[in-house]
Amino acid sequence: MLPAYGAMQTDQASPVFRYAKRAYFIVDKTGTVKFVKVMDNPLDLLDPAEVLKAVKAS
């Protein structure tokens, strides 16, 4: 799942090659992915308002 959503480091020159990136997924009861947000910087966090907006939209 991680490579399919771009949530895995795939650059072989990177020291964290094949490690997961910080990612947020919202999945509904049927297993449908409604929201995906992959952060490039692992220190960045998603704004809670953005999460609530995505949950309400789904």
Mean pLDDT in the chain?
87
Q: How confident is the model at residue 47 (pLDDT cuts 50, 70, 90)?
A: very high
pLDDT over 90 at 49, yes or no: yes
Provide the whole-model pTM. 0.74
For 6-40, give one letter per residue: b (16+ CB within 10 A) or e: ebbbeeeeeeeeeeebebeeeeeeeeeeebebeee
pLDDT over 90 at 12, yes or no: no
